Each structure stands twice: as C-alpha cells, then as structure tokens.
Amino acid sequence: MGSQSECYELRQVLRKEELATLAAKIKANVPYCASMHNNLLIASRGYSEGFRFEFYVPKMYPESNIVIWSRTTDVSRSLGMHCAEEEVPLLLCFVKAASFSSLVKEKPLYLFHLSSYLVDPVAEAFQEIFQRPFGKYPHPTFTYLRQQTYPLRCPAGMKVQRLGKAGVRHLLEKSKFSKAESVDLYYALTLNAPALGVFLDPSVKEDEVIHPEGIDFADESAIPISWVSTYAYGAIGMLMTDPGYQRRGLAILLTELLGRLLLADGYIPHANVEPHNETSLRMFEKLEGWENTHFSTWMTPE
C-alpha cells in the first residue's frame, strides 16, 4: 500500500466500456444511484459528449462504489457524488485529500443530487475546505419503480412526438433551468435521450393509443403545447404545459410515456421536484408506479 496521499487519489474514467460497467455496478443501489447511474449510462453511449462530463473513481479501491462526476463551464463547476451508505467515511477521505482540491477550488461550486446519507457529512467536509457554510436545497425525488402497461392515449386534435430543433429551443427558453445550454448541444442530446411534446394536429379526429416504439420526430419548426425532457445527467425535467392547455392530463401523459421509454432503454426514470412546486408534487403522487423514494440535495457555498 502506498502513502496516504496515494491511497486517496482519484483517476479519471475515459473508456466508454468502463463507464457502462460502473453504471451496471452501482445500479443495485436503487433509488439513490439513479442520477449517477443514468449519467454514466448516457456518457457511455456517447450522448453527452458536448457537455464535458468527467467521471472519477478511486485508484486504490477498485471494489468500491464511489463515483464522482464533474462538469466545468465558463462560469461554474458542478460535482455529483455517489457511494454506498457504508462507504461514506471512505468517500470523505477522498474529499479531504489534497488531490481533490483541483476539482473544487477554481470556480463557483454546485454540488448536485446528494443522497440523504451524504448531505451532512459532505456539507461538513466542504465547509472545512471553503471555510464557509453551504446552503442545502433538498428536493423530493420520485422514482419509477413499477412499470405500468395501461394504454396511453393522446386526445383528439393532438399528437405526441419527439421534439425537433424549434421544440428544443422553446423548451430551453421556457425552462427555469438549463437556459444557458446551447440549443445545438441540447438538440444533439435529445436525438438519443428523448424529449417529448404534445403538438396540435387537427387531422387527428379521435383519441389515439400511443405506441412508444413508434414515436417519430416533430417537424424542425414545430412548437409543442406541452413538453418534457431528459436532462443530460439522466433525470426527467423541464415539464411544462402552455396555460391554455393545462388540466387535460398532458403532463401526466408525457411523464408516464417518457418514464416507459427510459426504462426500456436501461435507465432508472426519476424526477427531482422543487419542494414548493405543489402542482408537480400532486401530479407525481397520483402517478401509478412512481414513488417518492428519497430526497436529493443541491448544495452551494453561501
């Protein structure tokens, strides 16, 4: 065994095959692994290359479930962490190691999707590093644990399609999050990790059953009246319906449909809901197969 500093060094995972292996390895820790698992799987398939995600694992502990992801933009750095609950003390050794400082000191820092058992220990460690308190922002996380098979129907006068480029631009413009993302970058992601919309189509005279395997892409210029997306890190989000079409079940339809698509493609469908978003909380609480499994916490220096 090497020196203490060598024991707690991280190595970057570059090979897509190893990213896929890591995703499979941590999947047993459902639901707490959902964000990291999906992020690893999307990256292993080459869908998020433009987002510049980096993944790190311990050099000296290949058997551990510790994975850290990092993303640096022009204005900030984001970090996500995963480990089994019993591995928290080991993860803290890496967080406190000198080699870790290069990941956290350069730009404003945001910590993403920390499971409940990580929040207090990680907050204490980062407060020691930065010499300032970290704000904690827990989000109820809903996970699709029981796949449903009931028919999904789109109302007459409408159709469900995957978003074209104009739909992606509309989604980003209306979203509270991801507004700084490039339309081209996000569109490249949605060609593989689906983003769905409901579009007006007067030629559809009756309610129609939707077949998930047969959903095509909307015209490049088409704007949806309701929409939802897969984030680059694998959660379901940016769900919204134009005010004139609310209370028609469109958000429920898109969320359930996207959940089925993601599950069929090997992901763990989940959504992080802002705690004050009563509309979304009520919707997920009514959705069959979805459970409020845990809290995911964002943190940033105050």
Percent of the chain with pLDDT over 70: 95
Instruction: Provide φ and ψ at 225, rounded to 5°.
Output: -100, -15
Which residue from 40, 65, 115 is spatially nearest to 266, judged by alpha carbons?
A: 40
The residues facing 79 across adjacent strands are: 70, 111
In angstroms, what CA-CA distances link 183 with 25, 43, 157, 172, 226? 33, 19, 28, 8, 18
Reported as type and span, the H/E element at residue 299 is strand 290-301
Mean pLDDT score, 138-147: 95
Q: Is 239 helix (H, G, I), strand (E, B) or coil?
A: strand
pLDDT tens per residue across span 26-47: 999 999 999 999 999 999 999 9
pLDDT tens per residue across span 228-274: 999 999 999 999 999 999 999 999 999 999 999 999 999 999 999 99
pTM of the model: 0.94
How far apart, in Å, do the first and last CA atoms of the chain sit? 39
Per-residue confidence (pLDDT) for residue 116, from 0 to 100? 94
Q: With a cut of 60, say whether residue 2 has pLDDT above it.
A: no
Where residue 1 falls among pLDDT bands split at 50, 70, 90? very low
Q: What is the mean pLDDT of the chain?
A: 92
Where do the H-state alpha helices sit in 153-277?
165-174, 183-190, 250-264
Where residue 102 falls among pLDDT bands split at 50, 70, 90? low
Q: Domains, the chain, ranges and CATH? A: 4-132 (3.40.630), 153-292 (3.40.630.30)
Residues contacting 76, CB < 8 A, separation 6+? 107, 108, 109, 110
CA distance 161 to 214: 9
Q: With a cut of 80, say whether residue 154 has pLDDT above it.
A: yes
